[in-house]
Amino acid sequence: MWVGAGGIGLLMTAMALAAVAVLPALGSVRRHRVDFPNRWIYFGHIRLWESTALAARLARLTERDEVQALSAQLVAMSRLNWRKHRLLQGSVALTLLSMLTLAGAAGLRMGT
């Protein structure tokens, strides 16, 4: 009985990890409002711009501005994606472990 409950617990944990990995990580609205005048790559910031103001800001960008903004965005997205990848790895591992545990519980039950 406890083996089956353990398998169910593992499966629920695996599902929670998968849910955390696939849910969007958009950041706080308050932070977007503070940062958007200096940000023009992430859609969470761009949505706060007026199109004419954004066009004017983009026209003033230097090559250095572009490289700095792009590198900051690449690093931020890489960190986020790495975390999500690791959460999904954990989810898959726990799902496999729960399947083995539940199969073992079923085998024990059939053997009695």
Q: How far is CA 60 from CA 51, 97, 112, in A?
A: 14, 55, 77
Which pLDDT band holds residue 112 (cuts at 50, 70, 90)?
low
Q: How high is the pLDDT of residue 28?
A: 85
| Domain hosting residue 64, numbered range | 2-111
Measured distance CA(34)–CA(18) in Å, rounded = 31
Question: Average pLDDT of 56-74?
Answer: 95
Report the domain count for the chain. Answer: 1
Compute CA 84 distance to the chain's CA centroid, rounded to the nearest angstrom.
4
Q: How high is the pLDDT of residue 25?
A: 82
Asked if the model's pLDDT at residue 49 lies above 70, the reply is yes
Q: How high is the pLDDT of residue 12?
A: 96
